[in-house]
C-alpha cells in the first residue's frame, strides 16, 4: 500500500512528464515560422530597354518616348546604382549620348549616376539598363506530409508559403527585405523655426488650412 510520500512522488513525476510533453523543441518552433520554411531570396537582375534614336528627327518616336519615361520612372523607384546608356558606334553616337544624358538628368537622375558608352555590332539601337532587385521564394504545393496523421501537431511543409509569395510579389523595393533605407536629412529650417517660436512663447505647430481642419461639414436643414 502506497503512503502519502509515494503519492506525492508519483504526482511530481507526472507533472514533470506533462510539462515536457507541452514543450516544443526549437526545430519544431522554427517549422511554424514561414520565413524559415519558405525564405524570400532577394537577387539582382539586369533590366534593359532598347530604343531607336534618330539624330535628324531630334529624338524618339512618341511610343518610344513613353516607354523610356516609364523605364526611367521604374529605375528611380526600384533601381540600384547607376543607369547605363550605350549607343551604337557611328557619327550619331555622341548626339545620342548627349540626348539621353540630358533627358535622364531632367527626370531626376543625378549626373554621377549616368554612365555612357558605345557598342559595336549589328545592334543599331540605344540600350539603357540598370541593376534592380527581385524577390522570390520556392514554389508552393508541397503536400508530401500525411495530414491525416499529425500526432506531433506540427504545421505542414506548405504552411505559410502563399503568404511569403504575396510578400515577395507586393514589396515595392525588395532591398527593404535585406537592409534598411537611410534616414532622410533633418529639416534644419523647420527645426530652427520651431525652436524660435518656442523661445518666444508662440505656437510651434504649423498652421492648417480649412481642408485639413477635419471639421464636420454643416448640413442645411432648410
Residue among 108, 20, 84, 99 nearest 53 (CA) = 99
- pTM more than 0.75: no
| pLDDT of the chain, 222 residues: tens digit per residue | 545 445 445 544 454 444 444 444 445 555 678 888 899 999 998 999 999 998 777 789 899 999 999 999 999 988 888 999 999 998 889 999 999 999 999 999 999 999 999 999 888 999 999 998 889 998 998 888 887 877 777 788 888 999 999 999 998 888 888 888 778 788 888 888 889 889 988 888 877 776 666 666 666 655
| CA distance linking residue 123 with residue 58, whole number of Å | 20
Query: For the domain bounded by 41-136, which CATH number is listed?
Result: 3.30.1330.60
Amino acid at each position: 500500500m502506497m503512503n502519502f510520500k509515494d503519492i506525492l512522488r508519483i504526482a511530481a513525476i507526472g507533472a514533470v512528464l506533462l510539462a515536457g510533453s507541452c514543450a516544443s523543441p526549437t526545430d519544431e518552433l522554427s517549422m511554424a515560422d514561414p520565413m524559415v520554411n519558405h525564405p524570400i531570396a532577394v537577387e539582382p537582375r539586369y533590366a534593359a530597354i532598347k530604343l531607336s534614336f534618330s539624330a535628324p528627327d531630334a529624338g524618339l518616336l512618341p511610343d518610344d518616348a513613353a516607354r523610356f519615361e516609364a523605364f526611367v520612372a521604374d529605375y528611380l523607384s526600384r533601381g540600384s546604382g547607376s543607369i547605363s546608356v550605350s549607343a551604337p558606334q557611328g557619327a550619331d553616337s555622341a548626339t545620342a549620348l548627349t540626348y539621353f544624358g540630358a533627358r535622364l538628368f531632367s527626370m531626376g537622375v543625378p549626373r554621377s549616376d549616368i554612365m555612357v558608352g558605345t557598342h559595336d555590332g549589328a545592334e543599331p539601337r540605344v540600350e539603357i539598363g540598370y541593376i534592380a532587385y527581385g524577390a522570390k521564394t520556392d514554389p508552393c504545393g508541397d503536400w508530401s506530409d500525411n495530414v491525416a496523421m499529425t500526432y506531433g501537431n506540427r504545421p505542414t511543409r506548405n504552411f505559410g508559403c502563399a503568404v511569403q509569395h504575396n510578400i515577395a510579389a507586393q514589396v515595392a523595393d525588395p532591398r527593404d527585405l535585406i537592409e534598411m533605407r537611410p534616414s532622410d536629412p533633418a529639416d534644419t529650417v523647420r527645426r530652427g523655426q520651431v525652436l524660435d517660436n518656442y523661445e518666444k512663447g508662440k505656437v510651434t505647430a504649423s498652421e492648417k488650412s480649412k481642408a485639413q481642419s477635419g471639421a464636420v461639414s454643416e448640413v442645411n436643414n432648410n
